[in-house]
Structure 1
Amino acid sequence: MRFCLLSLLILTCFTLKEIHGQQSCGRSITVPVGSEDTISSPGYPAPYPSDSSCTYRIMSSPSSNHVTIRFTSFHVESHRKCSFDYLAVHDGPSTSSRLIKKFCGPELPPTITSSGSSLTIYFHSDSSVQGDGFEFSYSVGCTYTYTETHGQFSSPGYPSDYPQNSDCTYNIQPASGNQVLLQFLYLEIEESSSCSYDRLSLYTDATAPEIYRFCGRMNPFNVLVSASKFTLKFHSDRSVSRPGFRLSYNITRDCEHGNGGCAHDCLNISPGSVECSCRSGYELTYGSNCVDNNECSSGNPCQDVCTNTDGSFYCSCSTPGFLLSPDGRNCTDMSCKKSNGGCAHTCLPAGNAHYYCGCHHGYVLAPDAHNCTDINECTTDDATLVHKCEHHCVNEAGSYFCTCNSGYVVSSNGRTCEDVDECPNHEDTCDHQCKNVPGGWECSCYSGFKVDPENPHMCVDVDECAEGLAPAACTTCWNSEGSYQCLCSDGFNPNDDNTDCIDVNECMDRNGGCEQVCLNTPGSMKCACFSGYEPPSNNSVSCNDISKYT
């Protein structure tokens, strides 16, 4: 018990021991695999006595196993450095073994596992201010099952290096919930390719392959496990140890509680289940974390230097004389930025602050390599530049255009010429009809008429009889307006409009009166004989057998 007197502004403190003297306690326990029991502070659940000094040594049997303690109650006088009352946990068989940590205050200490086969717990209280004390359970082995909806656990001996040749199993089996958010508060396990040496593996099904495998040193991160139960298995080989890991877990409720454990965006998909997603420029990992997508490492989007930033990137130019273009990705030679490099038309960067001038279509670079001269496509002898006009070419600055002869227009391709049909505008000009001709038009007349020699727009009658246009068989011809009439000679018949004479085939009427062969002729007919016969005289219709005369 501590007393203080204030006298003349001097604070004097002294301690009186309890009448019953200093309290001593503690014990050594050897625990077989599978056994579990509890240890509590003196007088628990009543406040512990002052001036206590208790040492508890817990050893595993066989010695190849680890010792684990889990606190169910803890309240020891608080102090920033735990200098008054405290509980000290040592990783080994005595208080001279490595100190894991001193605990005081009302906060429940985490579950602690030895790196070897024993733990030593030392409790000390001073002469004043007592708390309610503590209670913890102890067990041996490296298989743990957690049924609470939240909790914490760590590797054997954490925060000291974990022991070699360890195989520990952590079964997370909350009594309720659909998803579990696993928080890696600390992770440092021997790093190797594919985590083939030391590793922490996560399984949602004992018969299925592992979902994740962890090793190396990583900053704190979360893993959203889409299962109500899962298992973590820790393995260490016979060399190289590290501090290991410290993890906590909580069942997932909804996005309104801690954003569902999501680093960026959270979506409620069902009671007790959420789905995480990331903003642009990030990639989802372990179901809840958002890792920056390094755009610079997957195909440089910049022409020159690419610098990755959190969720994005930016480009820059490292070559002297170049500036970043307005598109934010390409680099532009500064030489063309000043007065266009002196170029009349275009300035083209060549790199390293060099440039060259170019000209628009229809121009050629002048001898000074800066100005541009118009190309006269209408007169040039260069076959690659000469105009393509069908009729006429007219030059203009940087180009040319085509024109056509009278009666033609330029076609849609701007180069060839198409004839203009003028007749729609001259139908009333012609006496009879208008006829389109290449590049112009003329009047034409109906059959039986011809263009008047004295007036090309008028038509006059053709006198077929006078001009000898009637057929020869027409013995008598009468002209009429636009036509004529015929009187045919013997052996001919007139056609339907009496403008022609059609030969009559006399052989069609009783073989023309011939005994053997009838031959039709224009306007008449004649008889002939078969082979071996001959007519007795000219114009005879009969035939005689020649053999009768031989």
Structure 2
Amino acid sequence: MRSTVSLVASFICILIGDCTAQLKTDAVKIKTNSSKGISCYSRLEGEEGVLESPNYPSDYPSNQDCNYDIVRTSSSVCGIRLYIEDLNIPGSITKGGDVCVNDYIAVESCVPEGGARFCGNDSGISHHYNFQPGATAIRLSFHSDSSGSGRGFRIKYKMVEDCSSYFYDIVPSGIPPLVGSATCFTRISEPSGTINTPYHPKNYPENLDCVYQFVRTNPNLCGVRMKTIKFELQSPMDTPFGGACSDFFHMPSCGFLCGKMEFSWFARYQPGATSLEFHFHSDESIGLSGFLISFEQVYNC
């Protein structure tokens, strides 16, 4: 029998106040036909602004790949809040109900994709995403194939200077029984290898906060390919809002993973980022065997 897996998006849906207020923005739109297949590009440089699908509010064209770079306006900015004012992107969803395929708008640096890839008609909600260390922008990508079309999207964004609710600055804990002499922080500069919970395959300790920092040793590195060898955390708790993870693994501001599962994904560096991070947390309950995950730093995305 397939184990229950909880994927809980770590963004918090918050309706933004006066969404009709005039926005201060400086957007540069460029249309290209590059060798990488990007058919349109927008660079948004204001503290607030708007991004729209091609031809909005008319139907967007088929077979489009567009990038939108939301530029970090200062070092005090830690993230962005996206308010989906209008979303009309017909598209199918994977069998598990997590990931949009065919047509979608996505925050391309987020994994798992289910927490940051949007389709359908989910208008009127907001999401928060963190800047990676050293990042100069957060990139959103829009993709359409030949299966159909829709009105597309209109999304407002705003720079954020307080990301304390979104695991922006995690303090690694000590590792029992080594508290005081070792912290649960792993800095990874190797081109390939594995990461794991403390003491894996034995049970991980309770009350842990571990940070796994992948260092971008070359600006031509574009991301990290990761695949589970073993993944077993505490199962999700049932709540009126769905499953909730008490022990979890995640990329901060993207999505939580817990339970017993398998995954293979590609975590992208944001433009200008010097590293990207993952976080593992355990509560006061007895731990399980945890995880062993293989990785490979990638040049060709």
> Where on the TM-score scale, by shorter chain, does this alignment land: which range?
0.3 to 0.5
Higher relative contact order structure (alpha carbons within 8 Å, sequence separation ≥ 6): 2
TM-score by length of 1: 0.22
